[in-house]
Amino acid sequence: MTARVYVATTWTGLRGIVTADGIGPAPFFGHAVTRALRASWPEGDDEELEYAATVAAARTSLGLLTDEDPSRRVVLAVEAETVIESDDADPTVVEVGEVVPMRLVAAVLVDTEDAADAVTAAREAWPAALEGDTDAEAVVDRCLDRDLAWFAVQEMGELLTWE
């Protein structure tokens, strides 16, 4: 049985995934609706839980950004067979046990150009936010409040022309 997993990456990472025709090597981490997430949010419906996993992946993407990457978070929605729940503090974290070929990528979620300033500010605030700086955490949270745009895999070629 497959599970929907949200895999954080960057623009540079997305190019590498397309070139390699898949996500790997395995194992790698992603975010998904887990038993732990359901237990921590029992009133959440399926759509809300999926959204929580997506936002967690977007946060992870933010932490992966380097100065060489455009200021856009990138998340891939994939179907994976071997998904192991983690004991991470984040209840959405899972380990994917196999390479996921491009044919199992369902969609690409990415920031649009108008999010660049918020993403840049959050990327710069990221180290301080990890240290518990509440002002930096607020900057990161404002970025996470921005929804990612959803693109079909067939649109990936056009997406890769963005910068």
**pLDDT digit string (tens) for 115-156?**
999 999 999 999 999 999 999 999 999 999 999 999 998 888
pLDDT at residue number 72: 94
pLDDT tier at 1, thresholds 50, 70, 90: low
Residue 162 has pLDDT above 80, yes or no: no
Average pLDDT over residues 94-123: 95
Residue 158 has pLDDT above 90, yes or no: no
How much of the chain exceeds pLDDT 70, in percent? Answer: 99
Contact 83, 5 (CB under 8 A): yes
Q: Which two tokens stand for residue 101?
A: 């070929």
pLDDT tier at 163, thresholds 50, 70, 90: low
Average pLDDT, the chain: 93
* Distance, CA of 152 to chain centre: 16
pLDDT at residue number 100: 96
Q: Give the DSSP letter string of 85-113.
A: E--SSSTTEEEE-S-EEGGGEEEEEE--G
7 versus 155: which is more confidently predicted?
7
